[in-house]
A and B are shown apart, each in its own frame.
Chain A
């Protein structure tokens, strides 16, 4: 699926990117089938590179290995404008897409009260980062670089909006901004906490989310 469709404008309307099962399957097939189009090839390289992240970090080396895996010359890595940032941003998009799919396929949200719903969604999203937790500080530092920060803030804003949407937020006034700002803070704080949470069972204790 073209990732650009994930960048929808802020809205409190019902989700527009939720597709039915059949369409979603078609999208996945299209992603696997590397066609001769630049955007697709780029996605293939990034997709393959993610499996090397644990070993090599969010780096050009991981992307070089990814390109080798999909049978392309690693030279293609040079055509990514912001190299490692492209990899991190691709991963963020991928996680957002997975989160949307999970919410759609049912997290039993309606049975919970609002704060529990939000807590559950945030947790689901952050758990996707656990396999990469040893390298996640690197991803955060890449996202914080001046050239990348605008994209990463945008991605976070979309994520937070997605979470509020899924939690059933209907606000149309100043609350809209307040809610998103507050959740953005909580999300980022929890994310940073994860980096140093070495307790048994690790991050699953979810201390900062006690408001649930």
Chain B
């Protein structure tokens, strides 16, 4: 499948004027296409994820035809993890990103040792998995045990809110959030928290279902999202509403350009994004300096 790649470097912030606060507020209080109160949104999102957690992996595979694995691989390859890294994966309850980061570091470690890099940093590697939903975290912990990482020191599970992280300032080398920021009530607060916990030179990466603008493909994608995904949800997980919310929340999420601007407004530098499969998903990235 053709993967369309587009990266935009946002150099000035003048455009931020176009980002009126009313837009942000409007987004912040949407639950799919419904307008809800802010507190209600987090409760509703919580219900959705508690409900989908048991079938989460199966549904991801079915809905994305297995492609979500490639998207996550791409995210981690863009992150370029290194031994001794302190990494925070937010909304990563199932551990998909965390396991990939650890695998990648073990690969790098082997290479580095070959090159004679004096390395006592490998023991300092920490990947923190932070998720607001205990049901999702327990799915991840189960996977960790299956992968033989149940006792791994480098993997730390934390129940926490992306808008109020419990980590110190300047404590992380990397921050990733995959398919999570869409569900956060205040995106700006989550971005500000990401900026706060990162060290100078640390990177923010976000993998998120985004907007397709390619003409014919857009119609096919819309048909697929609104007709087929809720149906799959109903048959497989017995939960149509959660998947209806999923596709609606994707449509309510800011466009690639707008979200990139929001990241730049959170003071990140070198903000760029890459569209995969015409924008079905986009990887946004930024550096804290």
Shortest distance in angstroms between A33's beta carbon and chain B's nearest beta carbon?
A: 14
Binds A, one of B15-23, B36-44, B49-57, B78-86: B78-86
In A52-95, the 8 Å CB interface with B consists of 55-57, 59-61, 64-65, 67, 71-79, 83
Question: CA separation between A65 and B84, bound complex, in Å?
Answer: 12
CB pairs A–B below 8 angstroms (7 shown): A37-B289, A60-B80, A71-B200, A75-B202, A78-B203, A79-B285, A79-B287
Asked if A36 is at the interface (CB within 8 A of a chain B CB), the reply is: yes
Contact A67 B117 (CB under 8 A): no
Asked if A38 is at the interface (CB within 8 A of a chain B CB), the reply is: yes
Contact B270 A79 (CB under 8 A): yes
Question: CA separation between A38 and B268, bound complex, in Å?
Answer: 10
**Which of chain A's residues has its CB closest to B85's CB?**
A75
Asked if A161 is at the interface (CB within 8 A of a chain B CB), the reply is: no
Contact mask for chain B residues 167-211; partner A; CB cutoff 8 A; 1 contact, 0 none: 000000110000000000000000000000011111100000000
Give the interface size class of chain A: 20 to 34
Q: Which of A45, A61, A65, A75 contacts B203 (CB 8 A)?
A: A75
Shortest distance in angstroms between A84's beta carbon and chain B's nearest beta carbon?
A: 12
Binding site for A on B (CB under 8 A): 78-80, 82, 84-85, 108, 111-112, 115-117, 173-174, 198-203, 269-270, 285, 287, 289
Contact A73 B200 (CB under 8 A): yes
Contact B199 A37 (CB under 8 A): no
Shortest distance in angstroms between B258's beta carbon and chain A's nearest beta carbon?
A: 21
Given contacts A60-B80, A77-B82, A78-B78, is CB(A72)–CB(B201) below 8 Å?
yes
What are the 10 closest A-B residue pairs judged by CB atoms, nearest first? A72-B201, A78-B80, A73-B201, A76-B201, A73-B199, A75-B173, A73-B202, A73-B173, A38-B270, A38-B269
Shortest distance in angstroms between B118's beta carbon and chain A's nearest beta carbon?
A: 10
Residue picked from A65, A67, A72, most chain B C-beta under 10 Å: A72
**Which of chain B's residues has its CB closest to A40's CB?**
B289
Asked if A41 is at the interface (CB within 8 A of a chain B CB), the reply is: yes
**Which of chain B's residues has its CB closest to A55's CB?**
B116
Residue picked from B80, B85, B108, most chain A C-beta under 10 Å: B80
Question: CA separation between A41 and B78, bound complex, in Å?
Answer: 19
Contact A38 B289 (CB under 8 A): yes
Shortest distance in angstroms between B2's beta carbon and chain A's nearest beta carbon?
A: 19
Contact A74 B82 (CB under 8 A): yes
Contacts of B198 in A (CB 8 A): 73
Question: CA separation between A67 and B115, bound complex, in Å?
Answer: 18
Q: Which of B84, B115, B174, B287 contacts A59 (CB 8 A)?
A: B115
Contacts of A37 in B (CB 8 A): 269, 289
Question: CA separation between A76 and B286, bound complex, in Å?
Answer: 10
Question: CA separation between A71 and B85, bound complex, in Å?
Answer: 14
**Which of chain A's residues has its CB closest to B269's CB?**
A38
Contact A57 B115 (CB under 8 A): yes
Q: Which of A61, A73, A75 contacts B117 (CB 8 A)?
A: A61
Contacts of B117 in A (CB 8 A): 56, 61, 65
Residue picked from B78, B84, B116, B289, most chain A C-beta under 10 Å: B289
Q: Which of A38, A55, A74, A83 contacts B287 (CB 8 A)?
A: A38
**Beyond A75-B174, A78-B78, 17 additional pairs, beta carbon < 8 A:** A36-B289, A37-B289, A38-B289, A45-B201, A61-B111, A71-B200, A73-B173, A73-B198, A75-B79, A75-B173, A75-B201, A75-B202, A75-B203, A76-B201, A76-B203, A78-B174, A79-B285
